[in-house]
Homo-oligomer: A and B are copies of this chain.
Amino acid sequence: MEDSVKKELPKVPPESPSGVRDYPPSEMIPRLAMIATVRDVFKRFGFDPLETPAIERLDSLTGRDPEFDMTLYSARLRGKKVVAESDTALRFDLTVPLARFIAANPETPKPFKRYQWGNVWRGEKVQKGRYREFMQFDADIVGARTVQADVEIIWIIAETLSALDVGSFTVRFNNRKVLNGLPDFVGFDSSLITRVLKSLDKFDKVGWKGVESELRWTTTDGRVLVEGEILLEGDVLAFNDEQIEKFKVFAYLVDDDPLALLAKAKVLLTSDIAQEGIAELQEMVEALKAIKLNKELWKLDFSVARGLGYYTGPVFEAILDDMPGIGSVFSGGRYDGLVSRFSDLEIPCTGASIGIDRLFAALKEMGKIELQQTETQALIMVLDKKFMSDYNAIARELRDAGVRTTIYFGEERSFKGQLAFGLKQGVPIIIIVGEKEIENGVVAVKFTRDRKQESLDRKNFVSVIYDYLSGN
Protein backbone atom coordinates (compact mmCIF):
# COMPACT_ATOMS: atom_id res chain seq x y z
CA MET A 1 0.00 0.00 0.00
CA GLU A 2 1.02 3.58 -0.48
CA ASP A 3 1.62 3.87 3.19
CA SER A 4 3.67 6.83 4.26
CA VAL A 5 4.75 5.15 7.50
CA LYS A 6 6.16 2.10 5.69
CA LYS A 7 8.12 4.22 3.27
CA GLU A 8 10.19 5.56 6.11
CA LEU A 9 11.38 2.14 7.29
CA PRO A 10 15.17 1.84 7.32
CA LYS A 11 16.73 0.15 4.28
CA VAL A 12 17.66 -3.50 4.68
CA PRO A 13 20.93 -4.55 3.04
CA PRO A 14 20.18 -7.04 0.22
CA GLU A 15 22.36 -9.72 1.77
CA SER A 16 21.98 -13.44 2.26
CA PRO A 17 23.03 -15.29 5.38
CA SER A 18 26.48 -16.85 5.40
CA GLY A 19 26.73 -20.16 3.55
CA VAL A 20 23.73 -19.88 1.24
CA ARG A 21 23.50 -18.60 -2.32
CA ASP A 22 21.27 -17.64 -5.23
CA TYR A 23 21.24 -19.39 -8.58
CA PRO A 24 20.49 -16.92 -11.40
CA PRO A 25 18.89 -18.25 -14.61
CA SER A 26 22.27 -18.65 -16.32
CA GLU A 27 23.09 -21.32 -13.72
CA MET A 28 19.57 -22.62 -13.06
CA ILE A 29 18.98 -23.52 -16.70
CA PRO A 30 21.87 -26.05 -16.84
CA ARG A 31 21.27 -27.06 -13.20
CA LEU A 32 17.64 -28.00 -13.93
CA ALA A 33 18.83 -29.89 -17.02
CA MET A 34 21.26 -31.79 -14.78
CA ILE A 35 18.51 -32.66 -12.30
CA ALA A 36 16.28 -33.83 -15.17
CA THR A 37 19.06 -36.10 -16.46
CA VAL A 38 19.59 -37.67 -13.03
CA ARG A 39 15.86 -38.15 -12.57
CA ASP A 40 15.56 -39.78 -15.96
CA VAL A 41 18.25 -42.36 -15.11
CA PHE A 42 16.71 -43.07 -11.69
CA LYS A 43 13.29 -43.58 -13.28
CA ARG A 44 14.70 -45.99 -15.83
CA PHE A 45 16.07 -48.03 -12.93
CA GLY A 46 12.57 -48.26 -11.47
CA PHE A 47 12.81 -45.67 -8.70
CA ASP A 48 9.77 -43.62 -7.67
CA PRO A 49 9.57 -40.14 -6.14
CA LEU A 50 9.07 -39.42 -2.45
CA GLU A 51 9.03 -36.07 -0.71
CA THR A 52 9.63 -35.56 2.97
CA PRO A 53 9.60 -32.21 4.78
CA ALA A 54 12.65 -30.03 5.31
CA ILE A 55 11.82 -29.79 9.00
CA GLU A 56 12.19 -32.90 11.15
CA ARG A 57 12.10 -33.50 14.87
CA LEU A 58 15.57 -33.06 16.29
CA ASP A 59 15.44 -36.53 17.86
CA SER A 60 14.78 -38.09 14.45
CA LEU A 61 17.93 -36.50 13.09
CA THR A 62 20.26 -37.22 16.00
CA GLY A 63 18.80 -40.60 16.98
CA ARG A 64 19.20 -39.34 20.56
CA ASP A 65 22.84 -40.28 20.17
CA PRO A 66 24.96 -38.36 22.70
CA GLU A 67 27.90 -38.66 20.30
CA PHE A 68 26.02 -36.90 17.49
CA ASP A 69 28.23 -33.89 16.78
CA MET A 70 27.00 -32.35 13.53
CA THR A 71 26.01 -28.67 13.66
CA LEU A 72 22.42 -28.37 12.44
CA TYR A 73 19.97 -25.57 11.85
CA SER A 74 17.25 -25.56 14.46
CA ALA A 75 13.89 -24.47 13.01
CA ARG A 76 11.63 -23.00 15.65
CA LEU A 77 8.49 -20.95 15.36
CA ARG A 78 8.93 -17.34 16.32
CA GLY A 79 6.27 -14.67 16.32
CA LYS A 80 4.00 -12.65 18.51
CA LYS A 81 2.01 -15.74 19.44
CA VAL A 82 4.14 -18.38 21.17
CA VAL A 83 3.31 -21.92 20.03
CA ALA A 84 4.21 -25.04 21.99
CA GLU A 85 6.12 -27.47 19.79
CA SER A 86 8.70 -30.21 19.83
CA ASP A 87 12.36 -29.47 19.20
CA THR A 88 12.74 -29.29 15.42
CA ALA A 89 15.58 -28.82 12.95
CA LEU A 90 16.35 -28.78 9.24
CA ARG A 91 17.33 -32.16 7.77
CA PHE A 92 21.04 -32.73 7.11
CA ASP A 93 20.45 -35.50 4.56
CA LEU A 94 17.62 -37.34 2.82
CA THR A 95 18.47 -40.77 4.26
CA VAL A 96 17.40 -40.36 7.88
CA PRO A 97 14.02 -38.91 6.78
CA LEU A 98 13.55 -41.92 4.47
CA ALA A 99 14.14 -44.30 7.40
CA ARG A 100 11.63 -42.30 9.48
CA PHE A 101 9.11 -42.49 6.63
CA ILE A 102 9.55 -46.26 6.29
CA ALA A 103 9.10 -46.80 10.03
CA ALA A 104 5.99 -44.59 10.01
CA ASN A 105 4.53 -46.36 6.95
CA PRO A 106 5.29 -50.06 7.52
CA GLU A 107 2.69 -51.07 4.93
CA THR A 108 4.80 -49.59 2.09
CA PRO A 109 5.29 -52.47 -0.41
CA LYS A 110 8.90 -53.65 -0.47
CA PRO A 111 11.32 -53.52 -2.09
CA PHE A 112 10.65 -49.80 -2.22
CA LYS A 113 12.90 -47.93 -4.61
CA ARG A 114 12.64 -44.22 -4.09
CA TYR A 115 14.34 -41.15 -5.45
CA GLN A 116 14.21 -37.75 -3.80
CA TRP A 117 15.96 -34.48 -4.45
CA GLY A 118 15.98 -31.47 -2.23
CA ASN A 119 18.02 -29.17 -0.11
CA VAL A 120 19.75 -30.29 3.06
CA TRP A 121 21.39 -28.06 5.64
CA ARG A 122 24.61 -28.45 7.61
CA GLY A 123 26.42 -25.93 9.75
CA GLU A 124 29.74 -26.53 8.04
CA LYS A 125 32.60 -24.13 7.84
CA VAL A 126 31.87 -21.87 4.88
CA GLN A 127 34.55 -22.10 2.19
CA LYS A 128 34.88 -22.01 -1.57
CA GLY A 129 32.37 -24.40 -3.12
CA ARG A 130 31.06 -25.50 0.28
CA TYR A 131 27.66 -24.27 1.32
CA ARG A 132 25.42 -24.74 4.33
CA GLU A 133 22.35 -25.22 2.15
CA PHE A 134 22.94 -27.61 -0.71
CA MET A 135 21.01 -29.99 -2.90
CA GLN A 136 21.24 -33.74 -2.77
CA PHE A 137 19.59 -36.22 -5.11
CA ASP A 138 19.24 -39.68 -3.60
CA ALA A 139 18.31 -43.14 -4.85
CA ASP A 140 17.67 -45.83 -2.24
CA ILE A 141 16.42 -49.41 -2.21
CA VAL A 142 14.46 -50.31 0.92
CA GLY A 143 13.81 -53.94 1.86
CA ALA A 144 16.52 -55.64 -0.18
CA ARG A 145 18.98 -57.71 1.84
CA THR A 146 20.90 -59.02 -1.17
CA VAL A 147 24.11 -57.26 -2.19
CA GLN A 148 22.71 -57.40 -5.73
CA ALA A 149 20.92 -54.23 -4.62
CA ASP A 150 24.27 -52.67 -3.68
CA VAL A 151 25.57 -53.63 -7.09
CA GLU A 152 22.61 -51.86 -8.64
CA ILE A 153 23.52 -48.73 -6.68
CA ILE A 154 27.06 -48.85 -8.11
CA TRP A 155 25.56 -49.42 -11.53
CA ILE A 156 23.20 -46.45 -11.19
CA ILE A 157 26.07 -44.22 -10.00
CA ALA A 158 28.06 -45.16 -13.09
CA GLU A 159 25.07 -44.78 -15.41
CA THR A 160 24.16 -41.37 -13.96
CA LEU A 161 27.67 -39.93 -14.14
CA SER A 162 27.97 -41.20 -17.72
CA ALA A 163 24.64 -39.60 -18.62
CA LEU A 164 25.86 -36.33 -17.07
CA ASP A 165 28.97 -36.49 -19.24
CA VAL A 166 31.31 -35.72 -16.34
CA GLY A 167 34.37 -37.18 -18.04
CA SER A 168 36.46 -39.93 -16.47
CA PHE A 169 35.36 -41.15 -13.01
CA THR A 170 35.80 -44.09 -10.66
CA VAL A 171 33.27 -45.64 -8.29
CA ARG A 172 35.33 -46.93 -5.36
CA PHE A 173 33.71 -49.30 -2.92
CA ASN A 174 34.38 -51.27 0.22
CA ASN A 175 32.42 -52.96 3.00
CA ARG A 176 32.15 -51.60 6.54
CA LYS A 177 32.21 -55.19 7.81
CA VAL A 178 35.79 -55.55 6.58
CA LEU A 179 36.74 -52.38 8.46
CA ASN A 180 34.91 -53.68 11.51
CA GLY A 181 37.31 -56.60 11.43
CA LEU A 182 40.22 -54.25 12.16
CA PRO A 183 39.95 -54.23 15.99
CA ASP A 184 40.29 -57.99 15.94
CA PHE A 185 43.12 -57.99 13.38
CA VAL A 186 45.15 -55.21 14.98
CA GLY A 187 44.08 -55.75 18.56
CA PHE A 188 42.26 -52.68 19.91
CA ASP A 189 38.92 -51.81 21.45
CA SER A 190 36.11 -51.52 18.90
CA SER A 191 34.96 -48.24 20.46
CA LEU A 192 38.00 -46.59 18.83
CA ILE A 193 37.08 -47.66 15.30
CA THR A 194 35.58 -44.34 14.15
CA ARG A 195 38.66 -42.46 15.30
CA VAL A 196 40.99 -44.98 13.66
CA LEU A 197 39.14 -44.83 10.34
CA LYS A 198 39.44 -41.04 10.36
CA SER A 199 43.22 -41.43 10.45
CA LEU A 200 43.37 -44.24 7.88
CA ASP A 201 41.17 -42.17 5.59
CA LYS A 202 43.96 -39.60 5.31
CA PHE A 203 46.36 -42.09 3.68
CA ASP A 204 45.81 -40.61 0.20
CA LYS A 205 46.41 -37.09 1.44
CA VAL A 206 49.20 -37.38 4.01
CA GLY A 207 50.85 -40.69 3.12
CA TRP A 208 51.75 -43.45 5.51
CA LYS A 209 54.04 -41.28 7.68
CA GLY A 210 51.16 -38.94 8.43
CA VAL A 211 48.77 -41.74 9.24
CA GLU A 212 51.34 -43.44 11.48
CA SER A 213 51.98 -40.24 13.37
CA GLU A 214 48.27 -39.81 14.02
CA LEU A 215 47.85 -43.39 15.16
CA ARG A 216 50.69 -42.97 17.64
CA TRP A 217 50.12 -39.45 18.89
CA THR A 218 46.48 -38.45 18.57
CA THR A 219 44.08 -38.26 21.47
CA THR A 220 40.90 -40.31 21.17
CA ASP A 221 38.92 -37.12 20.79
CA GLY A 222 40.96 -36.18 17.74
CA ARG A 223 43.52 -33.70 19.14
CA VAL A 224 47.20 -34.14 18.29
CA LEU A 225 49.36 -34.49 21.39
CA VAL A 226 51.58 -31.56 22.23
CA GLU A 227 55.18 -32.57 22.89
CA GLY A 228 55.65 -33.39 26.53
CA GLU A 229 51.92 -33.66 27.17
CA ILE A 230 51.04 -36.61 29.33
CA LEU A 231 47.67 -38.24 29.11
CA LEU A 232 46.05 -41.01 31.03
CA GLU A 233 46.02 -44.35 29.25
CA GLY A 234 42.87 -44.59 27.12
CA ASP A 235 42.76 -40.90 26.22
CA VAL A 236 45.34 -41.33 23.51
CA LEU A 237 45.43 -43.73 20.56
CA ALA A 238 49.14 -44.45 21.26
CA PHE A 239 49.25 -47.66 19.25
CA ASN A 240 52.44 -49.68 19.72
CA ASP A 241 54.88 -50.85 17.05
CA GLU A 242 53.20 -54.18 16.55
CA GLN A 243 49.79 -52.57 16.04
CA ILE A 244 51.20 -49.90 13.74
CA GLU A 245 52.78 -52.63 11.64
CA LYS A 246 49.39 -54.32 11.24
CA PHE A 247 47.70 -51.05 10.29
CA LYS A 248 50.41 -50.60 7.68
CA VAL A 249 49.81 -54.08 6.28
CA PHE A 250 46.10 -53.21 5.99
CA ALA A 251 46.73 -49.80 4.47
CA TYR A 252 48.96 -51.35 1.79
CA LEU A 253 46.44 -54.05 0.98
CA VAL A 254 45.88 -53.18 -2.68
CA ASP A 255 45.65 -55.10 -5.94
CA ASP A 256 44.35 -54.18 -9.37
CA ASP A 257 42.57 -57.51 -9.51
CA PRO A 258 39.70 -57.24 -7.01
CA LEU A 259 39.36 -61.01 -6.55
CA ALA A 260 43.09 -61.32 -5.81
CA LEU A 261 42.75 -58.47 -3.31
CA LEU A 262 39.88 -60.24 -1.58
CA ALA A 263 41.90 -63.46 -1.44
CA LYS A 264 44.72 -61.61 0.38
CA ALA A 265 42.28 -60.01 2.81
CA LYS A 266 40.60 -63.33 3.50
CA VAL A 267 43.85 -64.72 4.89
CA LEU A 268 44.61 -61.69 7.04
CA LEU A 269 41.25 -60.61 8.48
CA THR A 270 39.95 -63.75 10.09
CA SER A 271 37.15 -62.42 12.30
CA ASP A 272 33.62 -63.52 11.45
CA ILE A 273 32.51 -60.00 10.62
CA ALA A 274 35.43 -59.40 8.24
CA GLN A 275 34.93 -62.77 6.54
CA GLU A 276 31.25 -61.90 6.02
CA GLY A 277 32.22 -58.57 4.49
CA ILE A 278 34.78 -60.22 2.21
CA ALA A 279 32.19 -62.79 1.02
CA GLU A 280 29.73 -59.98 0.23
CA LEU A 281 32.39 -58.06 -1.68
CA GLN A 282 33.21 -61.20 -3.63
CA GLU A 283 29.56 -61.58 -4.68
CA MET A 284 29.51 -57.91 -5.67
CA VAL A 285 32.67 -58.17 -7.76
CA GLU A 286 31.31 -61.22 -9.56
CA ALA A 287 28.01 -59.42 -10.20
CA LEU A 288 29.76 -56.31 -11.49
CA LYS A 289 31.64 -58.51 -13.94
CA ALA A 290 28.42 -60.30 -14.92
CA ILE A 291 26.57 -57.09 -15.73
CA LYS A 292 29.62 -56.11 -17.80
CA LEU A 293 29.97 -52.74 -16.16
CA ASN A 294 33.10 -51.25 -17.75
CA LYS A 295 35.82 -52.22 -15.27
CA GLU A 296 37.58 -48.88 -15.69
CA LEU A 297 34.61 -47.38 -13.85
CA TRP A 298 34.78 -49.29 -10.55
CA LYS A 299 37.42 -50.23 -8.03
CA LEU A 300 37.41 -52.24 -4.82
CA ASP A 301 39.37 -50.13 -2.32
CA PHE A 302 39.73 -50.96 1.39
CA SER A 303 40.48 -47.33 2.25
CA VAL A 304 36.91 -46.24 1.50
CA ALA A 305 35.13 -45.68 4.83
CA ARG A 306 32.45 -42.91 4.40
CA GLY A 307 31.97 -40.70 7.40
CA LEU A 308 28.35 -41.22 8.38
CA GLY A 309 27.83 -43.49 11.34
CA TYR A 310 24.79 -45.32 10.04
CA TYR A 311 26.47 -47.49 7.37
CA THR A 312 26.61 -51.23 8.11
CA GLY A 313 27.78 -52.97 4.92
CA PRO A 314 28.92 -52.01 1.43
CA VAL A 315 29.92 -48.35 1.00
CA PHE A 316 30.57 -46.53 -2.27
CA GLU A 317 31.91 -43.21 -3.50
CA ALA A 318 32.50 -41.77 -6.95
CA ILE A 319 35.49 -39.55 -7.64
CA LEU A 320 36.00 -37.45 -10.75
CA ASP A 321 39.40 -38.59 -12.04
CA ASP A 322 40.21 -35.10 -13.30
CA MET A 323 39.17 -33.37 -10.08
CA PRO A 324 39.86 -35.76 -7.20
CA GLY A 325 40.41 -32.79 -4.89
CA ILE A 326 36.72 -31.94 -4.63
CA GLY A 327 36.05 -35.29 -2.97
CA SER A 328 33.30 -37.70 -3.80
CA VAL A 329 30.37 -36.44 -5.87
CA PHE A 330 28.06 -39.44 -5.52
CA SER A 331 28.33 -41.66 -2.48
CA GLY A 332 26.41 -43.92 -0.15
CA GLY A 333 26.20 -47.32 1.38
CA ARG A 334 24.10 -49.89 3.13
CA TYR A 335 22.39 -48.91 6.39
CA ASP A 336 20.50 -51.92 7.67
CA GLY A 337 20.07 -50.51 11.18
CA LEU A 338 18.60 -47.07 10.51
CA VAL A 339 14.90 -47.93 10.27
CA SER A 340 15.16 -49.67 13.66
CA ARG A 341 16.09 -46.31 15.20
CA PHE A 342 12.38 -45.55 14.76
CA SER A 343 10.66 -48.91 15.22
CA ASP A 344 11.11 -52.58 16.01
CA LEU A 345 11.29 -53.34 12.30
CA GLU A 346 14.63 -54.46 10.90
CA ILE A 347 14.52 -53.30 7.29
CA PRO A 348 17.66 -53.49 5.15
CA CYS A 349 18.38 -50.39 3.06
CA THR A 350 21.04 -49.29 0.63
CA GLY A 351 21.44 -46.21 -1.50
CA ALA A 352 23.52 -43.28 -2.61
CA SER A 353 23.33 -39.55 -2.87
CA ILE A 354 24.60 -37.24 -5.60
CA GLY A 355 25.81 -33.85 -4.45
CA ILE A 356 24.15 -31.71 -7.12
CA ASP A 357 25.82 -28.45 -6.14
CA ARG A 358 29.30 -29.87 -5.71
CA LEU A 359 29.09 -31.71 -9.03
CA PHE A 360 27.66 -28.63 -10.74
CA ALA A 361 30.52 -26.49 -9.42
CA ALA A 362 33.03 -29.09 -10.64
CA LEU A 363 31.49 -29.33 -14.10
CA LYS A 364 31.46 -25.54 -14.33
CA GLU A 365 35.13 -25.43 -13.45
CA MET A 366 35.82 -28.11 -16.07
CA GLY A 367 34.04 -25.95 -18.68
CA LYS A 368 31.36 -28.56 -19.18
CA ILE A 369 28.44 -26.27 -18.33
CA GLU A 370 27.05 -24.04 -21.04
CA LEU A 371 25.76 -20.86 -19.39
CA GLN A 372 22.81 -19.22 -21.10
CA GLN A 373 20.95 -16.08 -20.01
CA THR A 374 17.49 -17.18 -21.01
CA GLU A 375 15.51 -20.02 -22.52
CA THR A 376 13.26 -17.52 -24.28
CA GLN A 377 13.26 -18.09 -28.03
CA ALA A 378 11.35 -15.11 -29.37
CA LEU A 379 11.19 -11.47 -28.28
CA ILE A 380 8.40 -9.30 -29.65
CA MET A 381 9.36 -5.63 -29.77
CA VAL A 382 6.86 -3.03 -28.62
CA LEU A 383 7.37 -0.24 -31.17
CA ASP A 384 3.97 1.39 -30.90
CA LYS A 385 1.54 0.86 -28.04
CA LYS A 386 -1.39 1.11 -30.43
CA PHE A 387 -0.37 -2.26 -31.89
CA MET A 388 -0.39 -3.91 -28.46
CA SER A 389 -3.23 -6.25 -29.39
CA ASP A 390 -1.26 -7.37 -32.45
CA TYR A 391 1.79 -8.07 -30.26
CA ASN A 392 -0.39 -10.06 -27.91
CA ALA A 393 -1.96 -11.97 -30.81
CA ILE A 394 1.49 -12.77 -32.21
CA ALA A 395 2.62 -13.93 -28.77
CA ARG A 396 -0.41 -16.15 -28.43
CA GLU A 397 0.17 -17.81 -31.80
CA LEU A 398 3.83 -18.48 -31.05
CA ARG A 399 3.15 -19.76 -27.52
CA ASP A 400 0.39 -22.02 -28.77
CA ALA A 401 2.95 -23.51 -31.15
CA GLY A 402 5.28 -24.13 -28.18
CA VAL A 403 7.69 -21.28 -28.98
CA ARG A 404 8.92 -19.65 -25.74
CA THR A 405 7.92 -16.06 -26.36
CA THR A 406 8.08 -12.75 -24.53
CA ILE A 407 6.76 -9.29 -25.32
CA TYR A 408 9.08 -6.40 -24.44
CA PHE A 409 7.49 -4.68 -21.42
CA GLY A 410 10.52 -2.65 -20.34
CA GLU A 411 11.35 1.03 -20.25
CA GLU A 412 13.33 1.22 -23.51
CA ARG A 413 11.12 2.87 -26.12
CA SER A 414 13.59 2.99 -28.98
CA PHE A 415 14.08 0.29 -31.58
CA LYS A 416 17.79 0.36 -30.83
CA GLY A 417 17.31 -0.05 -27.09
CA GLN A 418 14.94 -2.98 -27.41
CA LEU A 419 17.13 -4.63 -30.02
CA ALA A 420 20.15 -4.30 -27.73
CA PHE A 421 18.19 -6.01 -24.94
CA GLY A 422 17.27 -8.94 -27.20
CA LEU A 423 20.83 -9.34 -28.46
CA LYS A 424 22.28 -9.17 -24.96
CA GLN A 425 19.89 -11.86 -23.79
CA GLY A 426 20.87 -14.01 -26.76
CA VAL A 427 17.30 -14.54 -27.94
CA PRO A 428 17.45 -16.29 -31.35
CA ILE A 429 14.33 -14.61 -32.79
CA ILE A 430 13.35 -10.94 -32.59
CA ILE A 431 9.99 -9.92 -34.00
CA ILE A 432 9.57 -6.42 -35.34
CA VAL A 433 6.11 -5.11 -36.16
CA GLY A 434 5.44 -1.42 -36.83
CA GLU A 435 3.17 0.69 -39.04
CA LYS A 436 4.67 -0.66 -42.25
CA GLU A 437 4.39 -4.35 -41.30
CA ILE A 438 0.80 -3.94 -40.14
CA GLU A 439 -0.11 -2.27 -43.46
CA ASN A 440 1.48 -5.02 -45.51
CA GLY A 441 0.22 -7.91 -43.38
CA VAL A 442 3.75 -9.11 -42.63
CA VAL A 443 6.00 -9.72 -39.66
CA ALA A 444 9.67 -8.74 -39.79
CA VAL A 445 11.77 -11.43 -38.15
CA LYS A 446 15.40 -11.03 -37.16
CA PHE A 447 17.32 -14.31 -36.84
CA THR A 448 20.01 -13.05 -34.50
CA ARG A 449 22.37 -16.01 -34.78
CA ASP A 450 22.45 -15.81 -38.54
CA ARG A 451 22.43 -12.01 -38.58
CA LYS A 452 19.68 -11.91 -41.15
CA GLN A 453 16.22 -10.40 -41.25
CA GLU A 454 13.22 -11.62 -43.21
CA SER A 455 9.78 -10.27 -43.89
CA LEU A 456 7.36 -13.13 -43.33
CA ASP A 457 3.69 -13.43 -44.19
CA ARG A 458 1.53 -12.82 -41.11
CA LYS A 459 -0.32 -16.03 -41.95
CA ASN A 460 2.59 -18.47 -41.89
CA PHE A 461 5.38 -16.83 -39.90
CA VAL A 462 4.77 -19.15 -36.94
CA SER A 463 5.54 -22.30 -38.91
CA VAL A 464 8.68 -20.72 -40.41
CA ILE A 465 9.92 -19.81 -36.91
CA TYR A 466 8.95 -23.18 -35.49
CA ASP A 467 10.84 -25.00 -38.24
CA TYR A 468 13.87 -22.75 -37.79
CA LEU A 469 14.00 -23.41 -34.05
CA SER A 470 13.53 -27.15 -34.58
CA GLY A 471 16.54 -27.09 -36.89
CA ASN A 472 14.51 -28.04 -39.97
A-B pairs with lowest CB-CB distance, top 5:
A71-B79, A46-B406, A290-B389, A20-B53, A144-B409
Q: Which residues of B contact A103 (CB under 8 A)?
A: 14
A40, closest chain B residue (CB): B402
Given A85-B17, A411-B143, A411-B145, verify A6-B72 contact (CB < 8 Å). no
Could you tell me if A14 and B409 are in contact, using CB atoms closer than 8 angstroms? Answer: no
* In-complex Cβ contact of A15 among B77, B104, B123, B152 (8 A): B104
A18 within 8 A of B: yes
Q: Which residues of B contact A20 (CB under 8 A)?
A: 53-55
Q: What is the total number of residues of chain A having a CB less than 8 Å from a CB of chain B?
A: 134
| B-facing residues in A224-254 (Cβ within 8 Å) | none
A407 within 8 A of B: yes
Could you tell me if B2 and A312 are in contact, using CB atoms closer than 8 angstroms? Answer: yes
Q: Which of A55, A57, A421 has the most CB of B within 10 A?
A: A55
A202 within 8 A of B: no
A141, closest chain B residue (CB): B409
What are 18 A-B contacts with C-beta separation under 8 Å?
A: A1-B309, A1-B311, A14-B101, A15-B60, A28-B50, A29-B48, A44-B399, A45-B404, A46-B376, A53-B133, A54-B119, A74-B75, A74-B77, A78-B123, A109-B425, A110-B410, A111-B406, A290-B388
A21 within 8 A of B: yes
Q: Which residues of B contact A408 (CB under 8 A)?
A: 111
Given A78-B89, A375-B48, verify A16-B53 contact (CB < 8 Å). yes
Could you tell me if A291 and B393 are in contact, using CB atoms closer than 8 angstroms? Answer: yes
A198 to chain B, nearest CB (A): 13
Q: Which of A7, A46, A144, A379 has the most CB of B within 10 A?
A: A46
A403, closest chain B residue (CB): B44
Given A133-B53, A411-B145, verify A113-B406 contact (CB < 8 Å). yes
